[in-house]
Structure 1
Amino acid sequence: MRSPRAQHAAVAALVILACAACTPGAAEPAASPTPSATVDPTTEPTAEPTLPPGGESYGTLEELRVALTGAGIDCPSLVDPAGIPDATESGWCPDYQWGLSIYPTVEARNHVLQLNVDSQEPQPFLVGTNWLLASASQYPLEELGQVGGVLGGIVWQSPEPFPE
């Protein structure tokens, strides 16, 4: 088991990567706000309306990556950042715009959300039954909502209660 310090360091790395687009010195935004180029606005949602509120449960990070790609996100492979606490698997798309993680239990997933709440700059997530997605885009709520329309899941941000 990792020490609390290592857990906080890993979550801090996730938050820093998620904030990359909104930090001073980052590239200036376009004249009019537009979603990140990683979301294809012409992609039609393909999820069945019978998905549970948390979306599908994924057995592997690769299954979640394939589903993310099916939602119009350019994610041909994954690179592994510092381990995310309690995750069975975690990784980032090569452009570091999308962070993905899989958890063995709801409690493990919610522990990461709590670490996010406790951080100095809490970030929103798309929360699934056993997974989390983080977006490092300039418009994360918009993009998480678009992806959630395909994968299911709940767009969550602090201080909202944790999804079941």
Structure 2
Amino acid sequence: MYGGQEKLDNLVWDKNDEESGKAQNQMRLKKKCRQVEELAKEKFGKPASLISPLIFGGFNILYRIHLDGTSPDVMVRLPCPSLVQFPSEKTAYEAATAALIAKRTQLPVPRPLCYGQDSPVGPFIIMERVENCGSVSARLNRRSENPSAPHVLDSNVSEAVLEVIW
């Protein structure tokens, strides 16, 4: 019934990979990096400078920005063009979700400092930079002899660990 579907799926994957590469190249351009610095300068009223590397993950790119006289640095998060459907809505929902998690839990999540839809760089979130000390996935992972094995939820996770995470 679905004969040949896998070939179509591969075509879609190839097209998505090609679009992802184009988007990443576009987001790495010096012009785009300067626009991100200008956005941070405008929002915080301080000189801003990009700290490499750029971080690509999921459907977003993160620019680490140092603001003169301020610590810690901030992160400017932009959706990758051509990879995201409805980037304005996505960004607004993610900013609201991150703000709610920061307010109602003790999870060390980056608190959104500001976000917007209309800017030279498109929709954005500027958030605190939080040093990563591991992932929730790693804390809930069933122990394995093979460190490269995919994470599998440990059904014997203690209540204490769950309380700390929650």
Please classify the TM superposition score into its range, dividing by the shorter chain length: 0.3 to 0.5
RCO higher in structure (CA 8 A, sep ≥6): 1
* TM-score, structure 1 as length reference: 0.35
More helix as a share of residues: 2
Decide which structure has the larger Cα Rg and report it: 2
* TM-score, structure 2 as length reference: 0.35
More strand as a share of residues: 2
